[in-house]
């Protein structure tokens, strides 16, 4: 019994080897494995002494005894929610989702999911919503929905496509022939790429989302940085100038970004981790005031070459964004949809066909009494999705799900 390490010694060993467990060097990785073997041996000794019938119970006991900061660090490294869900299902101590008592203990997995929500300033509360039976599945489902809304692994434009593979590599394919500058970025300057091909300059950057606009592309890294390339005329790329970029270049003024969007015109946007919306690009010649940027621009330049916050939406968090041809749609955390820009074909969703400079709430959607979570924008039509999965469409007919043109959002039925 005296040879068995006590709790203090286990904690000390865990603290000593914490860096080694997460290191990527060969030497430290070997140290981390050695530490794992030590913990396994300790668990076997405890299993024998406590006469436990299953090894899993001994390992669960040991896991509970680890310092909370180490356990939190482990869970925070699990970027794939499926891994977090699997881990929660293997150990009751990790789940710890008993009946919702006033002083119930919050398990490590629930604590991690709450931490992720709080980092994006989402109000979770401590009262389970109606219809939800358990906190961990509810929070996992909500987090997955947020991830899918923020991260788009593929995008298409008229003549090219952009992809993200499972390892976070950036790939493109298509044609450069119709673009004013090459969008397919390869050293041999090929005009046509038949299959998705890795972008050489981005091999060491993990990409999580992409967007494609007219003669430009955007890529979002796991660290929240935005890269743009393609045609830079009129400040379309967000770098503060009109220079073209033939390789992905980071937009210096954007950081902690969670989602991106590029329109069929020359406007792009990004939402940061605080729910703030930033837009940039070229307003166009037809009506520079109703441009889809969400604010007024200089009528002489008709452009905004650097990402600028849309102050008209500062009262709420923006959670979803879609940019069409000279118009923009945004969803706030309250479930309301806002639109601005030109109103050709009724794409703004108002009774009036007059364009809007500042984002305006689409009252026809608010009147449905439903919360909206995502939007999509085409050239002359738009879609909005509710929390329950109902779909609403408006704009030109044959494209909005109704086979008729309407400037008032209507539910799409199958």
Summarised one tens digit per residue, pLDDT across range 135-187 is 888 888 777 777 766 778 888 777 888 999 988 999 988 876 655 566 665 54
User: Same structural domain for residues 282 and 198?
Assistant: yes
Domain containing residue 237: CATH number = 2.130.10.30
Global pTM reads 0.72
**Minimum mean pLDDT range among 188-202, 253-267, 333-347:** 188-202
User: Same structural domain for residues 25 and 118?
Assistant: no
Q: What is the pLDDT of residues 388-414, one digit of tens each?
A: 888 999 988 666 566 677 788 989 886
User: Same structural domain for residues 194 and 312?
Assistant: yes
- What is the reported pLDDT for 250? 97
Residue 24 has pLDDT above 90, yes or no: no
Q: Is residue 388 part of a domain?
A: yes
What average pLDDT does the segment 75-91 reach? 75
User: Same structural domain for residues 244 and 391?
Assistant: yes
Residue 361 has pLDDT above 80, yes or no: yes
Higher pLDDT, 111 or 88: 111
Percent of the chain whose pLDDT exceeds 70:
72
Q: How confident is the model at residue 263 (pLDDT cuts 50, 70, 90)?
A: confident
Query: Cα separations (Å) of 359 from 208, 269, 290?
Result: 28, 14, 10
What average pLDDT does the segment 89-107 reach? 63
> Looking at the 3D structure of the chain, how many domains does it have?
3
Q: Is residue 135 part of a domain?
A: yes
User: Same structural domain for residues 233 and 353?
Assistant: yes
- What is the reported pLDDT for 21? 47
User: Same structural domain for residues 1 and 107?
Assistant: no
User: Same structural domain for residues 144 and 162?
Assistant: no
User: Same structural domain for residues 325 and 401?
Assistant: yes
- What is the reported pLDDT for 291? 78
User: Same structural domain for residues 26 and 86?
Assistant: no
- What is the reported pLDDT for 55? 45
What average pLDDT does the segment 198-215 reach? 91
- What is the reported pLDDT for 53? 44
The Cα–Cα gap between 23 and 407 comes to 56
Residue 367 has pLDDT above 80, yes or no: yes
Residue 332 has pLDDT above 80, yes or no: yes
Domain end point (choices 99, 129, 150)? 150
User: Same structural domain for residues 136 and 180?
Assistant: no
The Cα–Cα gap between 383 and 392 comes to 6
- What is the reported pLDDT for 182? 60
Percent of the chain whose pLDDT exceeds 90:
30
Domain end point (choices 133, 150, 167)? 150
Q: Is residue 140 part of a domain?
A: yes
What average pLDDT does the segment 317-334 reach? 92
For 159, what's the count of Cα atoms within 13 Å in the CB-facing half-sphere? 16
The Cα–Cα gap between 164 and 172 comes to 9
Q: Is residue 185 part of a domain?
A: yes
User: Same structural domain for residues 187 and 303?
Assistant: yes
- What is the reported pLDDT for 20? 47
User: Same structural domain for residues 98 and 223?
Assistant: no
Residue 36 has pLDDT above 70, yes or no: no
Q: What is the pLDDT of residues 3-21, one digit of tens each?
A: 555 556 666 665 555 544 4
* Mean pLDDT, rounded, of the chain: 79
Q: Is residue 157 part of a domain?
A: yes
Structural contact between residues 294 and 301, judged by C-beta atoms closer than 8 angstroms: no
Q: How confident is the model at residue 2 (pLDDT cuts 50, 70, 90)?
A: very low
Residue 41, Cβ density class (10 Å: 0-12 exposed, 13-18 middle, ≥19 buried)? exposed
Q: What is the pLDDT of residues 111-140, one digit of tens each?
A: 888 888 877 667 777 777 777 777 888 888
Q: How confident is the model at residue 195 (pLDDT cuts 50, 70, 90)?
A: confident
Domain end point (choices 117, 150, 183)? 150
Give residue 17's domain range.
1-52
Q: Is residue 91 part of a domain?
A: yes
Residue 210 has pLDDT above 90, yes or no: yes
Q: Is residue 61 part of a domain?
A: no
Q: Is residue 168 part of a domain?
A: yes
């Amino acid at each position: 019994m005296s040879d068995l390490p006590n709790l203090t010694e286990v904690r000390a060993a865990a603290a000593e080897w914490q860096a080694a467990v997460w290191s990527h060097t060969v030497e430290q990785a070997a140290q981390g494995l050695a530490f794992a073997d030590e913990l396994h041996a300790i668990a076997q000794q405890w299993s024998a002494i406590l006469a436990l019938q299953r090894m899993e119970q001994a390992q669960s006991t040991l896991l509970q005894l680890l310092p909370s900061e180490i356990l939190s660090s482990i869970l925070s490294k699990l970027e794939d929610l499926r891994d977090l869900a699997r881990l929660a299902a293997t150990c009751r101590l990790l789940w710890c989702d008993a009946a919702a008592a006033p002083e119930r203990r919050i398990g490590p997995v629930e604590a991690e999911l709450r931490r992720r929500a709080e980092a994006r300033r989402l109000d979770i509360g401590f009262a389970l919503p109606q219809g939800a039976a358990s906190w961990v599945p509810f929070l996992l489902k909500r987090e997955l929905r947020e991830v899918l809304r923020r991260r788009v692994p593929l995008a298409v434009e008229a003549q090219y496509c952009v992809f993200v593979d499972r390892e976070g590599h950036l790939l493109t394919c298509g044609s450069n022939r119709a673009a004013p500058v090459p969008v397919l970025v390869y050293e041999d300057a090929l005009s046509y790429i038949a299959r998705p091909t890795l972008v050489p300059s981005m091999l060491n950057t993990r990409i999580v989302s992409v967007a494609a606009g007219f003669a430009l592309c955007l890529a979002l890294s796991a660290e929240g940085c935005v890269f743009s390339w393609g045609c830079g005329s009129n400040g379309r790329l967000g770098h503060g100038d009109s220079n073209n970029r033939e390789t992905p270049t980071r937009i210096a003024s954007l950081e902690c970004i969670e989602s991106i969007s590029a329109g069929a015109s020359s406007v792009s946007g990004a939402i940061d981790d605080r729910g703030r919306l930033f837009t940039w690009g070229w307003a166009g010649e037809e009506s520079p005031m109703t441009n889809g940027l969400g604010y007024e621009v200089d009528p002489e330049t008709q452009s905004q070459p650097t990402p600028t916050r849309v102050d008209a939406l500062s009262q709420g968090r923006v959670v979803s964004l879609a940019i069409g041809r000279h118009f923009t749609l945004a969803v706030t955390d309250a479930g309301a949809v806002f639109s601005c820009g030109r109103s050709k074909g009724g794409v703004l969703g108002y009774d009036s066909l007059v364009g809007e400079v500042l984002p305006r709430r689409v009252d026809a959607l608010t009147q449905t009494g439903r919360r909206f979570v995502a939007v999509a924008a085409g050239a002359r039509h738009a879609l909005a999705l509710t929390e329950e999965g109902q779909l609403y469409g408006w704009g030109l007919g044959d494209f909005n799900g109704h086979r008729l043109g309407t400037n008032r959002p209507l539910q799409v039925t199958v």
